[in-house]
Chain A
Amino acid sequence: MKQFSTFVRKEFYHVFRDTKTLLMLFGLPVVLIVLFGFALTNEIKNTRIVICDYAKDPISTQLTELLSKGDHFKIDKILTHAGEIEAGFKEGKIKLAILFPPGFSQELIHQGKAEIQVIADASDPNTANTVTSYVHSVVLNYQQTRALAKPESFQIIPELRMIYNPELKGATNFVPGVTALVLLLVCVLMTSVSIVREKELGTMEILLVSPINPLLVIIAKAVPYFLLSLVNLAVILLLSVSLLDMPFNGSVFLLFGVSSMLILAALSLGLLISNSTASQQTAMIISLMGMLIPTLLFTGFMFPLENMPIALQVIANLVPSKWYYIIVKAIMIKGLGFSAIWKETLILAAMTVALLFISFKKFKIRLS
């Protein structure tokens, strides 16, 4: 135990004396949060749309007004003929068109349901997705206020429910993703580099011929990064709640518990990488490429996983941050407890245990 604390103290010396690393450790999350929170938001404002209203009845007019009220849409034109819609798309002037069929109100009142057509420019699928969902939420809002005023039942199709994030804020999506990204990057990078550095400097040899258990060497190395990652997590959460108005409805305890799991998984990945590389540069490149790309692609916060081909969805299931992302969203935004996320947590835990096992198993005593 005495040996262990000696070791941990030494690791802290390394961390706190390396100002560049320290800057990265704490600068990266702040920069990412601010960047994703403000600059790279996927919230889309002032989309130009056209409305083709064949009905020209009270409900269609009310809906049109509601659509133009928020800052999501800017109505370019009200058309009278559907043939003109295509021209608008071709010119690239509009991203979305809404078409009310003739007799819309009557159909709605008499049959209880009616359709409106929403046409989106899908050349940019993310934007199309987002703007159509704005339409859905406007329509849904209208239905709800109508239902409250007059208890008549009717339905405007298609229906899509937007819960938990009715304003479709960008931050709620990005913060859990960025959290996963930061934890993975920092932990994998730092552990692999710090172990490889000992190999490069030749101090690993000294440690291996000393009576200290090699496993202890590894665990002692992980301790500072583990603790600093928890501090990092706290910084991210504070920033996102205070600066980005992120909701935090769930248990802080649960969130830190689950995050610890991801951190452990990341630390063992770092160990695995350090095992197969001999230079700090290689370790750094592998960690960056190996973490950044899968995390950005397969976590689900940049690109919706549902739209991916099955093969890629299967791959995404192997990425720990995907599960972490689901869990964090559930805890932070929906305020759900452990009973709602036990399945995802179990998967993440299994991954962590497997990674720890493999990396300890593969950790070799080498001297050459």
Chain B
Amino acid sequence: MQDIVIKTDKLTKKFGDFIATNQISMEVYKGEIFGFLGANGAGKTTAMKMLCGLSIPSSGSATVAGFDVYTQREAIKKSIGYMSQKFSLYEDLTVIENIEFFGGIYGLNRKALKEKSAKLIEQLGLQPEAAKLVGALPLGWKQKLAFSVAILHEPKIVFLDEPTGGVDPVTRRQFWDLIYDAADRGITVFVTTHYMDEAEYCNRISMMVDGFIKALDSPANLKKQFNVPSMDEVFFELARGAQRKAD
């Protein structure tokens, strides 16, 4: 039996009459790369917000890293890392300053921070750039740095919201190497993406359509289930029944 780090049971979020997330139930295991897929407007962001402790569910239950999403949101925030599609480091701060800032707001002490940032810069091979402003780095590097910063405090789970938007396939592949490294270290990776080749890299994926989870399994099983050769077609099969229009 694997350790469960995220568990939801009929988790629902309503905005007035609109049900953004409709009774989703799932389990995510420790060290797993979990792909969270769905068309725009399917309810991915809403679900992710609830799991990150930013939004209170309307009904249902969920725990993240063992903490309740209703009552222990502060504890959840300490146990997770987050990186979004929008590139999110400060461009007018240097590499070192960014690392120290984000480490600092997660409460890492000065000494630990110094060690960690030195190690991180070495791992990424960024020594010559350490004192440069982040704005001067190429996009691929920025994203790798952003990801490393998101897991600097060694969270149990890292949420990645379309992390590879706008980068070339080679850089994307390198980025996924980092994700695999993190998963090997026992960090659960919860990732949303629109790239179906990336969906193939995940251990398991869930597909959201109109607020429901329509499918949840490994990419190989899903392809078998729908009897199609690629994840692209699985996605298409599921998403074409959608009623909601993406906005």
Contacts and interface: CB of A to CB of B under 8 A. Distances in A.
A10 B101 contact: yes
Contact of B104 (A6, A17, A203, A209): A6
Interface string B79-90: 010111111111
Contact of A209 (B52, B91, B93, B100): B52
A3 interface: yes
Contacts of B78: 211
Interface in A1-36: 2-3, 6-7, 9-10, 13-14, 17-18
Contact of A203 (B49, B80, B89, B109): B89
B100 A367 contact: no
A210 B92 contact: no
B104 A210 contact: no
Contact of A206 (B49, B84, B93, B104): B84
Nearest to A14: B92
Interface in A344-368: 365, 367-368
A227 interface: no
A205 B52 CA distance: 11
B107 A211 contact: yes
A65 to B, nearest CB: 66
B200 interface: no
Contacts of B82: 205-206, 209-210
A206 B53 contact: no
A210 B88 CA distance: 13
A17 B89 CA distance: 16
A285 interface: no
Contacts of A14: 90, 92-93
B53 A209 contact: yes
A13 B88 contact: no
Contacts of A3: 104-105, 107
Nearest to B54: A367
A201 interface: yes
B88 A209 contact: no
Contacts of A10: 90, 93, 97, 101
Contacts of B45: 367-368
A340 interface: no
A202 B55 CA distance: 18
Contacts of A17: 92
A9 B93 CA distance: 11
Contact of B86 (A7, A18, A205, A208): A205
Contacts of B101: 6-7, 9-10
Contact of A2 (B84, B85, B87, B107): B107
B93 A13 contact: yes
Chain A CB within 10 Å, residue with most, of B45, B105, B109:
B105
B194 interface: no
A211 B86 contact: no
A207 B149 CA distance: 13
Provide the main secondary structure of the chain A interface. Answer: helix
B74 interface: yes
B102 interface: yes
Interface in B143-195: 150, 159
Given A10-B90, A13-B93, A13-B97, A209 B105 contact: no
A212 interface: yes
A298 B33 CA distance: 60
B233 to A, nearest CB: 30
Contacts of B109: 2
A105 to B, nearest CB: 76
B86 to A, nearest CB: 3
A207 B97 contact: no
Nearest to A365: B54
A207 B106 CA distance: 10
B132 interface: no
Interface in A197-251: 201-203, 205-212
Interface string A78-107: 000000000000000000000000000000
A208 B89 CA distance: 14
Contact of B105 (A201, A212, A365): A212
B188 to A, nearest CB: 15
B90 A6 contact: no
A10 B100 CA distance: 10
A18 B133 CA distance: 13
B77 interface: yes
Interface in A156-204: 201-203
Given A18-B92, A365-B54, A206 B102 contact: yes
Contacts of A6: 100-101, 104-105
Contacts of A9: 101
Given A3-B105, A7-B105, A365-B54, A210 B84 contact: no
B133 to A, nearest CB: 8
Given A18-B92, A368-B45, A209 B77 contact: yes
A14 B89 CA distance: 13
23 contacts: A3-B107, A6-B101, A6-B104, A7-B101, A7-B104, A10-B101, A13-B92, A14-B90, A14-B93, A17-B92, A18-B92, A201-B86, A202-B84, A202-B85, A202-B87, A202-B88, A206-B82, A209-B52, A210-B82, A211-B78, A211-B105, A212-B105, A368-B45
Across chains A and B, which 5 residue pairs bring their CB atoms closest together, nearest first?
A202-B86, A6-B104, A209-B82, A202-B88, A211-B77
Given A2-B107, A208-B54, A368-B45, 12 more contacts: A7-B105, A10-B97, A13-B90, A201-B87, A201-B90, A203-B88, A205-B86, A209-B52, A209-B77, A210-B105, A211-B74, A367-B49
